[in-house]
Each structure stands twice: as structure tokens, then as C-alpha cells.
A and B are shown apart, each in its own frame.
Chain A
Amino acid sequence: MEYLNLGKISLLIGFILIIIGFWGILSQKNIIKIIVSFTILDTGINILIVSLGYIKGRTAPIIDASVPQLADHNVLNSIVDPVPQALVLTAIVIGFGVTALLLAYAMKLFKAKRTLEINQFNDLKW
């Protein structure tokens, strides 16, 4: 499995999810589906972030006694990159915020025209 280590696989999955997300965003007419597509896109990006921090054969960046090497404080050579994990936390929260807002918008839009078709909301143009 030289070619398909876990990092590469998850990277690939991330990319695929992103593409699916874009596809949904660009082709779905229903606003809720578009919002779902956004969450798929976000998920893809999150997977991407995490997978870029992955190093084969290492453990999570938490120093406790369960892993011998860590107990010896040979931390440098035994953990995966902590930074992407921190970043992904932020990215998730941002994704949550945006999605919450989008849903609130979707509710208002539906109230306005009793439809969720995105091409009905073109009051502003030209």
C-alpha cells in the first residue's frame, strides 16, 4: 500500500467532497440543497486540513503516558501535526456559524416568496 497511505486517501476523499460540494452549489436549485452542498464542501475542506497534518504511524498530539515514546518526552517524533487540528476546529466553528446564518436566511427567503427556488430571488439585477 505504498501509493495509498491514509493521508493520500483522506486527501482524495476531501477533494472528492469538495467537488461534490461545488457541483451541488452550482447545479441545485433548491436553497436548502445548496446549503447542504455548502456543508459538504466545508466537510471536504476539513478533511483536507486534517489529512495534511497526518504523518504515517504517529499518534494524536496529546502527551500522556499511554504511548511509551510520549512518556519519554520524545514528542517530536511521535505525534502528528497539531496545527491543522487546531485550524480545523476553527474552520468547523466558522462553518457552523455560516450554516446557521444561511438557514436563517433560507427561512426568511421562504417567508418572502413561499418558494426555495434560488432563481426566484432576482429582484436586484443589471
Chain B
Amino acid sequence: MIRNFLIGLVLASFVYIFYNLYVSYEPKTELTGIAAHYAEQGAKEVGAANLVTAVVVTYRGFDTMGEVTILFLTASIIGFFLKLNKKDEKKVIIHKGTSELLVTSAQLLVPIIFLFGVYVFINGHLTPGGGFQGGAIIASGIALLIMANPNKEINHHAILWIESISGIMFVIIGLLGIALAGGFLDNRFISLGTFGDLFSAGAIPLIYSFIGLKVGAEISNILNKYQKSQKES
């Protein structure tokens, strides 16, 4: 009873706080602060048509490195959290087959989904999308695979290698930024190229590709762990 009352009180108070925020909110009419700088100088400085990508990969690249780390961290934690003991590892659980429709469409769609994912992160500096989105799309393909065939063993080692190598490459590119350009994660150590081209915006496509691979691998890894954890007794 007291608990419900307190919850009510909390929610009412939050409503009050948010109401105040809402009332004091004046919709923006023009860009201010750093946003204005990005809008005016972003294309020139970074060379990416997609300004969000410019912000994500370069200006706030350090954040992005943190994001990648979070995914990596989660995958690692789940890795040892849901780790199976040796007995369970060898156990084989045969699931019932799933519907024919799913199996067939998976066979058809998964390569396309993978391709699409790659497209999304390679073109991250030009069009909506990027490494995270691309990676997520790839992982959704893996998810589809697992759903279509619950007994499928994902190649664990491949995921690991992709994840590891792309992560290291991300860091190395970041360090190259220090060595060859203005600072950590500076994309300008590769020439910016022609604005709007696929191979433009310096290291951004490179970075985004590695991010895409890494994110895809990590999410797949997590999915893999969840799948395997069913064996736990």
C-alpha cells in the first residue's frame, strides 16, 4: 500500500518535472553551437556527405570507440557469464525443425541481408546508415539463420577473428590519426577525396567498415551465446 502510494508519488513528481521541462522547451529555429559548426564546416573538414557520420566517426569518434567497446564488453561478459561447463558443451540438443517457409526464405534472404548490411556500412558516409546499422543488419541475418535452423552451429572462430581483427584495426586507425594527422581517430591521414564519392571522407569508410564487421560479429556472438545457453543444465 505504502509502496503503491510512493510509486504514485514518484510518477506524479516525474510528471511535474517533465511538465516543467516541456513548458520551458522552445522549439529550435536555427542551428546553434557545435551543430552550426558541423553544418558549416563538416563537409569541408571531414569530407562526409552524411554529417551524422561525420559526427559519429570523427568529431565524436571517441564516443564511438566507447560504443564499440560496450558491445564488445557485453559480448565478453556474456561469454563468460553464460559459459558452459565441458559436459554441457558436448551435449547435443536436437530441436524440432522449423517451418519450411522460414527455412526456404532464410536460404534466399540471408545472403541478400548480408549484402545489404555491407552496403549500409560501406556507404555510411554518404547515405543514411553506417557501421552500427550495417552490423545490426548482418546480425539480423544471423538471427534469421538461427531461427530457421536452431541446431545450426555458428562458426565461432570466424566470428572471433573478425571481431578481434576489426577491433584492432579500429584502434590502429585511431593511432594512425595521431601519427599522421591531428589526433586520435582523425580521419584525414587518408586524403579526403572527392566529396560524395564512395572512396572519400578519408578513413571514414574504412573505420565504418571495421565497425560494421565488429558490430555484426559481436551481436552474432551474443546470439550464439544465447543459443548455446539452452544446453545449460
Contacts and interface: CB of A to CB of B under 8 A. Distances in A.
**Main SS class of interface, A:** helix
Contact of A54 (B28, B60, B81, B127): B28
Contacts of B229: 104, 107
A22 B15 CA distance: 11
B230 to A, nearest CB: 10
For the side of the interface on A, what is the size category?
35 or more
A83 B35 contact: yes
A97 B70 contact: yes
Contact of B39 (A5, A79, A94): A79
B38 interface: yes
Interface of A: 5, 7-8, 11-12, 15, 18-19, 22-23, 26-27, 53-56, 60-64, 73, 75-77, 79, 81-83, 85-86, 89-90, 92-94, 96-98, 100-101, 103-105, 107-108, 111
B15 to A, nearest CB: 6
A94 B67 contact: yes
Interface residues of B, number: 55
Nearest to A75: B39
Nearest to B127: A62
A103 B50 CA distance: 34
A113 to B, nearest CB: 15
Interface in B85-107: none
A119 B149 CA distance: 37
A119 to B, nearest CB: 11
